[in-house]
Amino acid sequence: MQALMLLLWAGALLGPGSCQDNAGSLEDSPAPDTTGVPVEEEDPFFKVPVNKLAAAISNFGYDLYRVRSSLSPTANVLLSPLSVATALSALSLGAEQRTESTIHRALYYDLISNPDIHGTYKELLAAVTAPQKNFKSASRIIFERKLRIKSSFVAPLEKSYGTRPRILTGNSRLDLQEVNNWVQAQMKGKIARSTREIPSEISILLLGVAYFKGQWVTKFDPRKTSLEDFHLDEERTVRVPMMSDPKAILRYGLDSDLSCKIAQLPLTGSMSIIFFLPLKVTQNLTMIEESLTSEFIHDIDRELKTIQAVLTIPKLKLSYEGEVTKSLQEIKLQSLFDSPDFTKITGKPIKLTQVEHRGGFEWNEDGASTAPSTGLQPARLTFPLDYHLNQPFIFVLRDTDTGALLFIGKILDPRGI
């Protein structure tokens, strides 16, 4: 069990029924057994189909993040796994049994008893990309040139995922331009055009793009933003623009098992960011990363306590453009790259060759109001608490309504290099 403790309140805050003994598992609550021993009930939150689906694809997202992070131990990671999950889920519409179940296992669909996953997915996408969320996400399946696609694949793809497959022309300049135009239109120009050529040996290319610009519930005073030290590691320090609020209201907990301080700041549109800040300066965030699951984050969300703190947080503007092909190959999906069965899409043997991700993410002082929201009453503290994001940390952007993971970042250097 994760002992998530608030500094001043001794004792575990995670109540019964929130054990983390089955990381990543989304199993339904088992039926009461014959011994009459009470069994753990599933949290009602996960009984809502859209929340359950969000938990499943978010667990895929944490898996993807872990692999990405381990592949670049000394660099920032910025990832919106939702856009990749969406492309995969859409692709599974064209997969025959064996291949379909490979994708479904990676997305944790095998733990969901929902006969209409794709219909629920449509609902989830509509929920998390509603205008007030400030979050944009789009996914696309791109096929090799001259491929003939069955209309029985295109229709359900459009219906549930609102996307049409694209077939390459074979002219790499035109194809890149078309993809760039599509990204521009989907992201309303917030993501820069790419110069990366689309390789000629593509069979199936998945593309997931996402953009988010945070609006805090309580804005930061720009006059309090100044250049401050950020500790890259135990020895090296850089100066970065750091926002601060001497009387911030945030939700907080100390996790003694993970040796980190967890804080949550609300954003407008029922969104929030959860920060994981190690007690000591370190670039090794493995322990925290290993613990990340939808269920753990949900428990944190319930158990953090509202406090007042002296808060400093770097301004952030990050972007990512590149492949997540290798990462996907490492999370149970290798067979999609070898000899998958996509005969529901076309008669020709095709396989996944590349998965591209583009993401943009930023926050600055902007927010909805200057006063803390009235719903938050800080617990009485005998001394002020400090929360300084001035060393490597992890953040999780989450939709509070559905619990969906929308962005995850490992910030080793807020300058984005």
Ligand X SMILES: *[C@@H]1O[C@H](CO)[C@@H](O)[C@H](O)[C@H]1NC(C)=O
Which CB atom, from 111 or from 281, has the smaller least distance to ligand X?
281
Of 277, 142, 160, 134, nearest to 212 (Cα)?
134
Residue nearest to ligand X (CB): 284
Q: How far is the CB of 283 from ligand X (least distance, A)?
A: 8
Separation of alpha carbons 147 and 158, rounded Å: 18
Query: How many Å apart are CA 198 and CA 202, to the nearest integer?
Result: 8
Look at strands 216-218 and 4-5 and give their pairing: unpaired
Compute the least distance from the CB of residue 291 to ligand X, in Å: 11
> Minimum distance between the CB of residue 258 and ligand X, rounded to whole angstroms?
9
Query: 177 or 286: whose CB is closer to ligand X?
Result: 286
- Residue number, 80 or 293, with CB nearest to ligand X: 293
- Residue 405 has which token pair? 């993971």
d(CA 10, CA 307): 15
* Helix or strand holding residue 123 (H, E): helix 117-128
User: C-alpha distances in angstroms, 260 versus 277, 280, 289, 408?
Assistant: 5, 8, 12, 17
Interacting residues toward ligand X by CB under 6 A: 284, 286-287
Nearer to ligand X, 8 or 287 (CB): 287
Q: Cα 22 to the chain's mean position, in Å?
A: 20
Q: With respect to ligand X, which residue has the nearer C-beta, 354 or 391?
A: 391
Q: For residue 53, give the nearest of 146, 131, 119, 137 by alpha carbon.
A: 119
Nearer to ligand X, 286 or 373 (CB): 286
Shortest gap between Cβ of 233 and ligand X (angstroms)?
Answer: 11
Q: How far is the CB of 68 from ligand X (least distance, A)?
A: 16
Please report how close the Cβ of residue 260 comes to ligand X at its closest, in angstroms. 11
Distance CA 289, CA 397 (A): 15
Under 8 Å between Cβ of 329 and 183: no
CB of residue 286 to ligand X, shortest distance in Å: 4
Nearer to ligand X, 238 or 287 (CB): 287
**Cβ-based burial of 240 (10 A; exposed 0-12, middle 13-18, buried ≥19):** middle
